[in-house]
Amino acid sequence: MTKIRVTLILLVVLVASSCSLSKVNREYRGAIVGNWILNEVTYAGNSGNFKSVLFNDVSDDCFKGSQWFFRNSNSTGTYTINPGAECMDGVRNIRWSVNETGGGTNQLQFKFIDEKRKDVSGGYGYRLDIV
């Protein structure tokens, strides 16, 4: 009986430690949590006029002034697109996390969810480098 109990305790510790966040991941998550406003969309290393659709949602111009909210307790959040001429305004629900790449650059990753926190993107998501 004691052998089974020890094995069970070790299994619980192993599972709990494998699900915990690393120190670096916790630090990045803590830095991201809260309200943010996206002021500008730029294309690194390029100049000129660009027109693109971001996150398979709306054009890059629609993201200027968008409001982002990241909740740490359940890894959910939102971004809100403001009304505009070509913008489908409104709130988009997301589930987010920080991905440790191992190469020194960590990434914010997210996918779209509904109000009940169910995946609506078929498992697809997006990753952005954190700089």
Residue bearing tokens 């670096």: 24
pLDDT for 10: 47
pLDDT tens track, the chain, 131 positions = 444 544 445 444 444 433 445 555 556 667 788 999 999 888 888 888 888 899 999 999 999 999 999 998 889 999 999 998 789 999 999 999 988 877 777 888 999 999 999 999 888 999 988 87
Three-class SS of 12-77: HHHHHHHHCCCHHHHHHHHHHCEEEEECCCCCCCCCCCCCCEECCCEEHHHHCCEEEEECCCCCEE
